[in-house]
Amino acid sequence: MVFQFSLETVLRLRRSEQQQQEMTLQRLSEQVNRIAVELQAIDDEIRRLGRQANSECGITGAEIHFDQERCEILRQRRNETEGRLQAVRQQQIVAVKQFHRTWQRREALESLRQRQHQAYEVEEGRKEQRSYDDLFLQRKRKG
């Protein structure tokens, strides 16, 4: 007789949910990394413009004004990017909590399945031993 777990379809569903949650977490982590790289690039550009403004002599007022405008635009872009980063990090926190709940539900079913399988193995071992005992007794009676 083959072991059958009555909640096997539910367990498969829980495994699938966990995989989906893992993919969601991976996607969010990649977004966080991309946004962090974007922030770093903006910061680098702001620093470069600051160094350039401090090191250049003989630049016109229009050029100074243009660089100041660029820095202001970069700061605004940085603030927007920082906001996006915080939003994605918040999504990531929620996704981690969902993953943890999904993992716990799957783990509970896995544990139940394992206990039932062990009980099945014990019972099958007992049945097999009984059949050997019966066979032994039959041979002893005949002989």
Single-letter amino acid, residue 93: I
pTM: predicted TM-score of the whole model, two decimal places: 0.73
Instruction: Specify the residue for token string 């403004």.
Output: 53
- 8-142: CATH class: mainly alpha
Distance of alpha carbon 131 from the chain centroid:
49
**What confidence tens digit (pLDDT) does each residue in 91-107 have?**
999 999 999 999 999 99
Residue 9 DSSP one-character state: H
pLDDT of 117 above 90: yes
Do 93 and 44 meet the contact criterion of CB atoms below 8 Å apart?
no
Domain limits, the chain: 8-142
Structure tokens that stand for 79 in this block = 């603030």
